[in-house]
Amino acid sequence: MAACVRRLNNVLCSVRLLRYQHHQNERFLSTSLPRLALGSDDTDQPSKFTPPPKPVIIDKTQTAASLRKFLSPEFIPIRQRINPLKAAIERKDMYRRRKVLNIPEFYVGSILAVTMTDQYASGKSNRFVGICLQRGGKGLGATFILRNIIENQGVEICYEMYSPLIQKIEVLKLEKRLDENLMYLRDALPEYSTVDPDMKPVSSSPTGDVPINMMKVRMRPKPWSKRWERPIFNIKGIRFELCLTPEQMEHAQKWAEPWREYDMLKEYDTSRLEENILKEVKQEMSK
């Protein structure tokens, strides 16, 4: 088991493997537990019958084509003058790191747990669980911010995905939200940013669409850190009707630039680039 856990070629394959391993261990546990319990509590009421967990049927008939296509956003270069040689060399280093550390597919709004080395902690590592607020940076400097509220204090940690300090990244809950950037959770009520640190991973299928959480968040009273009602942010995940009057909403629309969607200079079509890079990624990761 350790051998195949070490050689993680395909990200998607690895998710399947992890799930299979988790359920295998559960199966061993559930059959041995009642036997152990019988010996100890004989005088108390008989231990409840825990049925064995349903076996996970991994459908091997599903081809690789039906699996979800996901290209991590840090591979796609920005439109500015990026030397393609530099980008290609960075990508090579990214593949090398990904072969050692499994960086799973996740989106903004999913709940992650990151284990990082920490020389001053007993056990030499610390684990942080939180919601992913944004994914920034391109290439090796790609980062993601996790937010959680611990003992009534909001904590945000910005992790670099390719940092050698990171030991493990697990996706506890894979889902998308209505926006690409959830920085408004800083001004939302704290219940929307709290994540249970001992949360168990929620299983998700490697095929089909990622579930979109249509939750609309309630905000604290103004002032906020940014004027989230303005159309430049294009936020769909806030319940504006509870915190702003219609006059305020109209006033915010003054900053709308309706010509922006027709401005051909601002368009950046990445579909061709994405296809090429996705092919390259699949090739490299399967080596």
Partner 1 sequence: MRLTLQMLISHGRVARKMGLGPESRINMLRNMLTGLVRHERIETTQGRADEVRFYAEKLIDYAKKGDTDEKAMKMASFWLTEKDLVPKLFKVLAPRFETQKKGYTRMARIPNRENLDRAKMSVLEYRGNPFPPLYPVRKNIELSLINQLLKGYKEERAQKTTVKI
Q: Which residues of the shown chain bind partner 1 in the complex (CB under 8 A)? A: 80-81, 257, 259, 262-265
- The Cα 244–Cα 265 span in angstroms is 34
The nearer residue to partner 1, 209 or 263, going by C-beta atoms, is 263
- The Cα 68–Cα 87 span in angstroms is 25
Q: Residue 74 CB: number of other CB atoms within 10 A?
A: 22
* Biggest CA-to-CA distance, the chain: 79
Residue 31's Cβ-count burial label (10 Å; 0-12, 13-18, 19+) is exposed
The one-letter code for the residue type at 42 is D
Q: How far is the CB of 248 from partner 1 (least distance, A)?
A: 23
Name the residue among 19, 162, 185, 188 with its Cα closest to residue 108.
Answer: 185
Q: Are the C-beta atoms of 256 and 231 separated by less than 8 Å? A: yes
The one-letter code for the residue type at 217 is V
- The Cα 191–Cα 227 span in angstroms is 21
DSSP reduced 3-state for 50 = coil
Peptide bond into 223 cis (omega under 30): yes
The one-letter code for the residue type at 90 is E
Q: Distances in Å between the alpha carbon of 11 and those of 70, 131, 242, 266?
A: 10, 21, 42, 33
Q: Are the C-beta atoms of 208 and 14 separated by less than 8 Å? A: no
